[in-house]
Amino acid sequence: MGLFQGCSDGFWKNHEDLWVGYSPDDIYDEVFGVDFFGVLTLAEVLNTGGGGIVALGRQSVGALLNASSPDVNYPFTEDEVIALIQGVDPMDAMAVEELKDLFERFNTLGSPLCEED
């Protein structure tokens, strides 16, 4: 594959049947190795509203699912997405916003997978 691709967090929220390597019931904090959302699952984080760390949570789940999909040429690997989340200070609003924006930019690149809708 040539150009980078990505499907939005909203796409993944509505297409749990296309998730590869992860379950909607997986606990976010366990998958990412952080302490951000307690016992919320990946699906529950995708369904949150609001900005800040919850917006980053939504975009990071989208990024992880893009990275794990064999049908999406995402610019990060799963390990890189996880490492980026582990490296962000949840109390640093600017860092949270910058990482959220980065994931959102890549998550909205488009892909034949998410354009079939």
Task: Quick: pLDDT tens for 69-116.
Answer: 999 999 999 999 999 999 999 999 999 999 999 999 999 999 999 986
Task: Read off the pTM.
Answer: 0.96
> For residue 1, what pLDDT is reported?
47
- Which one, of 21, 27, 91, 16, lies nearest residue 56 by Cα? 91
> For residue 117, what pLDDT is reported?
52
Calculate mean pLDDT across residues 33-42: 97
Arithmetic mean of pLDDT over the chain: 96
Residues 101 and 88: beta-carbon distance below 8 Å: no
> For residue 2, what pLDDT is reported?
64
